[in-house]
């Protein structure tokens, strides 16, 4: 069942919300190393350290026959000293559950090298955040919501280059940690995610990502995010990702840039 037949690194790593991809972006690639005849599974743990906040995520995903991906991730956002400033209490935490599904429609990023057609997948992520009363107080319209996305990923093996573009329909504030919709906007908006990675070897990749975000809340502007990452694939069972991450403004604090560290294990 677990055939591990795909090329090393082609399962990607686990994104912030648990889908196979980069750290910020969800890619078209199906997680794991299972081929069309097998299954791939992985688990991940990620830590993000910012000047005024921190974020932990842990989750698991399964790739079914290189066609369907199902994932679950739990996020814990620690407000640290900012929580006390906002009257919530020091180290006040928001918790979020993310349930994801992705289906590959056409193409194969690895094996369709003679075609310009990328691998294309569609997906959704249902996100549910606690402390709904607090989220409503800051202007969010809901504590839960669903993102929809379409991703196109192409691997140019001869150039050792991977490129992804993803369009996301979302109402999420700060990835949904601050709820969905707001006093400024309460409609879905189209946001873009982009990734580019250069494979220096079969085991090591260096790249960058950009992800735009809606600006729904009047309490504070929301900036777009980006990162520069390095991923090392020890083998098909263990990978490590480190990144410099910039999330911009979060509520009352600007310049929220810091370190992103993620461990992924799988079969």
**What pLDDT, on a 0 to 100 scale, did the predictor assign at position 32?**
86
Three-state DSSP state, 229: strand
- Domain count for the chain, please give it: 1
Structural domain contains residue 3:
no
Domain presence at residue 5: no
Classify residue 155: in a domain, yes or no. Answer: yes
Check if the beta carbon of residue 259 is closer than 8 Å to that of residue 247. no
CATH classification at residue 154: 2.40.160.40
In a domain, 94, yes or no: yes
Q: Give pLDDT, residue 213.
A: 96
In a domain, 208, yes or no: yes
Q: Exposed e or buried b for every residue in 207-233, given b needs 16+ CB within 10 A?
A: bbbebbbbbbbebbebbebbbebebeb
> Nearest 10 degrees: CA dihedral of 233, 118, 69, 244?
40
pLDDT digits (tens, 9 = 90+) for 86-106: 889 999 999 999 999 999 999
Whether residue 6 contacts residue 30, with contact meaning beta carbons closer than 8 Å, is answered with no
Residue 133's contacts (CB-CB under 8 Å, 6 or more residues apart) are: none
Q: Mean pLDDT throughout 178-196? A: 96
Asked if the structure places residue 237 within a domain, the reply is yes
Residue 6 lies in a domain: no
Range of the domain at 214: 13-266
Which tens digit of pLDDT belongs to each residue from 8-24?
888 788 999 999 999 99
In a domain, 129, yes or no: yes
Lowest mean pLDDT segment, chosen from 61-65, 109-113, 183-187: 109-113
């Amino acid at each position: 069942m677990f055939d591990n037949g795909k090329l090393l690194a082609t399962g990607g790593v686990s994104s912030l919300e648990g889908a196979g991809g980069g750290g910020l972006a969800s890619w078209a690639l199906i997680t794991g190393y299972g081929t069309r005849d097998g299954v791939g599974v992985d688990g991940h743990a990620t830590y993000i350290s910012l000047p005024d906040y921190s974020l932990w995520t842990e989750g698991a995903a399964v790739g079914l026959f290189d066609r369907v991906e199902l994932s679950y991730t739990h996020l814990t956002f620690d407000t640290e000293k900012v929580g006390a400033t906002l009257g919530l209490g020091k180290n006040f935490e928001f918790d979020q559950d993310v349930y994801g599904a992705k289906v590959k429609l056409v193409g194969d990023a690895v094996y369709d090298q003679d075609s310009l057609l990328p691998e294309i997948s569609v997906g959704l992520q249902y996100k549910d955040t606690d402390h709904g009363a607090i989220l409503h107080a800051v202007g969010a319209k809901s504590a839960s919501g669903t993102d929809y996305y379409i991703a196109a990923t192409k691997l140019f093996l001869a150039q050792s280059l991977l490129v992804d573009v993803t369009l996301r329909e979302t109402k999420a504030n700060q990835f949904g940690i601050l709820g969905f919709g707001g006093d400024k906007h309460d409609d879905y908006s189209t946001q873009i995610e982009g990734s580019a990675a250069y494979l220096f070897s079969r085991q090591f990749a260096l790249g960058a990502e950009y992800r735009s975000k809606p600006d729904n809340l009047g309490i504070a502007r929301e900036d777009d995010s980006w990162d520069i990452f390095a991923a090392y694939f020890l083998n098909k069972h263990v990978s490590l990702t480190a990144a410099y991450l910039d999330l911009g403004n979060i509520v009352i604090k600007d310049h929220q840039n810091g370190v992103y560290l993620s461990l992924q294990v799988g079969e």
